[in-house]
Copies of this chain bind each other. A is one copy, B any other.
Amino acid sequence: MDVKSKIGIRIKELREQKNMSQKDLAYSADLDRSYIASVENGQRNISIVNIEKVSTALGVTLKEFFNNGKFDNNSTGS
């Protein structure tokens, strides 16, 4: 599984834990809702600045965001 998908799944799981809609998250992170949708579906290569915005909106630090089994192995080839 590639990083874009991992990030998307992580965002979605944190968002649902907070009972937020994509619209809520988009507003709170100051990003476009349709963009959040495509990121969650692993279609977009999100930048670090926006990952931080989303993390903040979800109430976690970057460290916490990445402190998850999904990120225990990189998908990049050797």
Contact A7 B67 (CB under 8 A): no
Encoded as 1 (CB less than 8 Å from any B CB) or 0, chain A from 2 to 43 comes to: 111001000000000000000000000000000000000000
Selected contact of A55 from candidates B47, B65, B74, CB within 8 Å: B74
Quick one: which of A4, A51, A72 has the most chain B CB within 10 A?
Answer: A51
Interface residues on A, range: 20 to 34
Contact A3 B62 (CB under 8 A): yes
Least CB distance, A59 to chain B, in whole angstroms:
10
Contact B67 A53 (CB under 8 A): no
- Identify which of residues 36-64 in chain A touch chain B, using a CB-to-CB cut-off of 8 Å: 45-49, 51-53, 55-56, 61-63
